[in-house]
Structure 1
């Protein structure tokens, strides 16, 4: 496992930017990116590590407690620049619609099973990983369209322990996971990338996002296999959004099915210095990293990722905003 830290200025980002769907993208603030790479041997070991028994035994990861003393003065908010969007894409041979998708879904204050099929049913999936002491855990993630067709969005706390800087190992993504099945195979991480500020702030949730670059299955990329959701950076806040994850409570299917929430976003007013937005719904441990999507079409299951499930408070769940810093991490991931 090789870990590197990179400081990406505007010129470097321009050289590595993925251009499809990002016309008129403006220069943005430098981003410090932490990146950990895994060798072919490590990826092969991860693939063999995750037996059916270990998948079932993995614990649902919940968001860690927020560090004390972190305020707007000690940690600057993400920079919001010109909106940059990347379109969703449907994989060849993967259905984009479902006969069970029947119009708009009612707003939910508690998660419900997703029965609408479509692109989200193939691009959402479960993440499995192991920490330094041998504990095995699970989170959620979503395929994000990218130049290398191999990127997923998840939570920062699903790739690294922010209090110690430990990057997790044996990291895999299983798209379309349902009741222990792997309908499209198991994609092992080639590299894990996150904003350095997430660790330097000891886990401030404003930066609780990460991108994983995965390998191929049967010589096919992730996007060619299952498709991808679009991504929107520095988009408008306060939209009607949908969130998806694999919560571990019995009401959510004990982590064995994809669940869904939706609602109108509101600012996180309960945490000092927060720049996060959320909705009136809570998905439990294991849903961490699942996607928040805007402009979501329930008939096709496609939309634009604007964040990932990070923390909850009371009856609300929140996501970090994908601003210019997140765009910098994404661009490096898409070029890997």
Structure 2
């Protein structure tokens, strides 16, 4: 079913700068990075967070490039992905299942459909409202060369009420270890609107195994702990999806993201896929699982949810959109290593 693999966000980001108009925006100073076990944390000062919020004007949001799929090397494609499928990249050992339940939003958005859904083989606009309409959103960030880019992310319930799950490649360049700057999350993003405000990253977290393997997609997850808006935390503002670690695979799952194709609304609306998971058989060391559906560039980092209640729009995050091939999209499994990254993000 899967023959060649392409990272939805494996870009040579440092080589391409996207600017607004003719003015090139100088990259901001880097955050402070510390390590704890295999968890890498990059912390941004209050001044850097304020700068990030000011940086993302409507014009810059519009000009940001959706993180897209193929580099020239990947276009050639092999069963072993050209980035990161290195020998000896062991799978995350299994552990006991750990789950955190969803948190309801203060006020649920009005539904615009009956909530009835059918298995999809191509993404369609999500019109079901519910908790996913407030907890899914877009990520915007800048790289060292001044380029501006967009991904997707989802609010995950946590102790500090401030955590979002996204892809590792939406947090750090695995080829260089560069952690991205001016990083913000806009929950409920739609057509340039920010209905709940802009939340700047206080800290970004990724698994060092993602960088040390040169970008092995098995470790392609990242978390952000964001600041407040008008004194309210992210979860108190929009609610949160549940999240599960070491959960069963082969489940019926739903994925959500802001794909950048014309058919997906050019990154301006939330799209939806669903299907029964199957193992990634196209990469020798892959521990990823996926479905028969593909969301395009910009959907990177969007959530895969199991036990999803379509009428309520809520479920449990079991991964994030990472890799696509043919008509399939895949997510890394959230195991013990991801749990460690999440726990540090939730304590930040």
TM-score, with structure 1 as normaliser: 0.90
Q: Distance in 1 between matches of 2:115 and 2:84?
A: 46
How far 1:102 moved relative to its partner? 1.7
CA offsets 1:7-45 (integer angstroms, 9 cap, x no match): 1xxxxxxxxxxxxxxxxxxxxxxxx10110000010011
Gaps of 5+ in 1: 8-31
Runs of 4+ with >3 A deviation: 63-69
Does the alignment pair 1:84 with 2:93? no
SS in 1 for 2:112: coil
Partner residue of 1:128? 140
1:36-75 paired onto structure 2 within 5 Å? 36-63=42-69, 65=74, 66-67=81-82, 70-71=85-86, 73-75=87-89
**8 Å CA contact retained: 1:67, 1:204:** no
Taking the aligned partners of 2:174 and 2:209, their CA distance within structure 1 comes to: 10
Contact 1:101 / 1:299 at 8 angstroms: preserved in 2? no
Mapping 1:212-251, distance limit 5 Å:
212-251=224-263
**Structure 1 contact 244–287 (Cα < 8 Å) conserved:** yes
Task: Give the deviation of 1:91 after TM superposition.
Answer: 2.4
Relative to structure 1, is the Cα distance of residues 201 and 69 closer, same or farther in structure 2, using a 3 angstrom cutoff? closer
- Give the number of equivalent residue pairs: 309
Contact 1:70 1:204 in 2 (8 A): yes
SS in structure 1 of the partner of residue 209 of structure 2: helix
1:69 CA drift (Å): 7.1
d(CA) in 1 for partners of 2:259 and 2:162?
24
Retained in 2: the 8 A contact 1:63–1:157? Answer: no
Hey, what's the Cα distance between the residues in 1 that align with 2:85 and 2:312?
Answer: 41
- Asked whether the 8 Å contact 2:111–2:130 carries over to 1, the reply is no
Report Cα offsets for 1:139-184 as digits up to 9, x if no partner: 0000000000000000000000000000000000000000000000
Distance 1:80 1:102 in 2: 38
Residue 283 of structure 2 aligns to a residue in which SS?
coil
Superposition deviation, residue 68 in structure 1: 5.1
Listed one character per residue, the Cα deviations across residues 239-266 of structure 1 (whole Å, up to 9, x for unaligned) are 0000000000000000000000000000
- Alignment-derived partner of residue 16 in structure 1: none
Which residue is equivalent to 1:281? 293
Deviation at residue 104 of structure 1 after TM alignment: 3.2
| 2: CA distance, partners of 1:234 / 1:63 | 28
Alpha-carbon distance in structure 1 between the residues aligned to 2:312 and 2:203: 30
Q: Paired residue for 2:344?
A: 332
Which residue of structure 1 aligns with residue 265 of structure 2? 253
In structure 2, C-alpha distance between the alignment counterparts of 1:317 and 1:36, rounded to whole Å: 29
- Work out the CA distance in 2 between the residues paired with 1:61 and 1:214: 21
Does residue 5 (structure 1) correspond to residue 35 (structure 2)? The answer is yes
Give 1:307's aligned residue. Answer: 319
- The 5 A counterparts of 1:135-174 are 135-174=147-186
Match status 1:297 vs 2:303 = no
